[in-house]
């Protein structure tokens, strides 16, 4: 099964990066640009909405939340996303920064939709990076590069 992989160097402490990926308010800052539904706690789930939509575009169950590893399983959303896992592994660097290893794993097949998602993940992870470093986030819609209209 193909996976989306990204490696990002972030000039911010791991705790700051963790706070942004393991809290619904933090996730809204770098990804959705609007509040999430639900709760980011292991065994719970949260939904992400974009634009004016009232129904979540995707719902994730939180499988793991430790200081160096966060894992979500997609339970609702695009068919290609169902049962995929989104993980963030944080590696503190000696200079006080963080290396983020991102994986969106378990896709049934590579294709145009997966390619567009990979492009957008790269953009949103850049939003996470710049936001963690400077507070200048570029969440949706600014971070969306590949549109599906």
What pLDDT does 4 receive?
98
Is 25 a domain residue? yes
**139 falls within a domain:** no
Degrees to nearest 5, angle at CA 119 with 70 and 61? 30
Total domain count for the chain? 1
Contacts 24+ apart (CB under 8 A), 62-68: 65/22, 65/40, 65/41, 67/14, 67/15, 67/18, 68/14, 68/18, 68/92
Give a yes or no: residue 51 inside a domain: yes
Q: Dig out the tokens for 96 from the structure.
A: 């006080």
What pTM was computed for the model? 0.96
* pLDDT at residue number 149: 61
Q: Range of 31's domain? A: 4-134
Residue 22 falls inside a structural domain: yes
The runs of H, that is alpha helices, within 22-111 are 24-27
Residue 1's pLDDT is 85
Residue at 65 is within a domain = yes
Quote the CA–CA distance of 41 and 59 in Å, as a whole number.
13
Looking at residue 33, which CATH number applies to its domain? 3.30.530.20
Three-state secondary structure call for residue 87: strand
Helix, strand, or coil (residue 142): coil
> Has residue 91 been placed in a domain?
yes
Cα distances (angstroms) measured from residue 128 to each of 77, 82, 109, 137: 22, 24, 27, 7
Q: Map residue 48 onto helix, strand or coil.
A: strand
Q: In this predicted structure, what is the pLDDT of residue 53?
A: 82
Q: Mean of the per-residue pLDDT values for the chain?
A: 96
The low-confidence residues of the chain, meaning pLDDT below 70, are 149
Asked if residue 149 belongs to a domain, the reply is no
Asked if the structure places residue 145 within a domain, the reply is no
């Amino acid at each position: 099964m193909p996976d989306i992989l990204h490696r990002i160097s972030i000039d911010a402490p791991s705790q700051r990066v963790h706070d942004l990926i393991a809290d619904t308010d933090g996730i809204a800052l770098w990804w959705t640009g609007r509040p999430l539904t639900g709760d980011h706690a292991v065994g719970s789930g949260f939904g992400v909405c974009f634009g004016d939509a009232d129904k979540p575009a995707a719902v994730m169950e939180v499988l793991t939340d430790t200081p160096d590893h966060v894992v979500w399983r997609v339970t609702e959303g695009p068919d290609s996303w169902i049962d995929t896992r989104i993980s963030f592994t944080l590696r503190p660097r000696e200079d006080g920064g963080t290396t983020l290893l991102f994986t969106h794993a378990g896709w049934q097949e590579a294709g145009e939709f997966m390619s567009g998602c990979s492009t957008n993940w790269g953009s949103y992870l850049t939003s996470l990076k710049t936001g963690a470093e400077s507070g200048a986030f570029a969440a949706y819609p600014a971070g969306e590069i590949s549109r599906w209209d």
